[in-house]
Amino acid sequence: MTEPEKRRRRRLDFLVARLIGATRKDAKQLIKTGRIEVEGHETGGLKAQTRVGVEDAIYLDAQQLEREAGERYLMLNKPSGVVSATKDDYDPTVVDLLEPELRRGLHPVGRLDKDTTGLLLLTTDGEWSHRITSPRHGFAKTYRVRVADPVTDQELASLEAGIMLRGEDTPAFAHDIKRLGNTELRLTLTQGRYHQIKRMMGAIGNRVVQLHREQVGPIELDPALEAGGYRELTEAEVMAFYPARNPPQ
Residue among 56, 88, 113, 149 flagged as catalytic: 113
Say if CB 12 and CB 47 are below 8 A apart: yes
**Residue 123, number of CB atoms within 10 A of its CB:** 20
**Distance separating the N- and C-terminal Cα atoms of the chain:** 11
- How many of the other CB atoms lie within 10 Å of CB of 179? 13
Amino acid identity of residue 5, one-letter, is E
* Residue 184 CB coordination number (10 Å): 16
- CB contact at 8 A, 240 and 75: no
- Classify strands 208-216 and 117-123 as parallel, antiparallel or unpaired: parallel
| Selection from 87, 127, 121, 96 nearest residue 6 by Cα | 127
Dist. CA 225–CA 235, nearest whole Å: 19
Nearest Cα to 158, choosing from 217, 201, 211, 98? 201
Helix or strand or coil: residue 48? coil
Task: Tell me if residue 113 is catalytic.
Answer: yes
Angle, alpha carbons 133-139-141 (nearest 5°):
95
Residues serving a catalytic function are 113
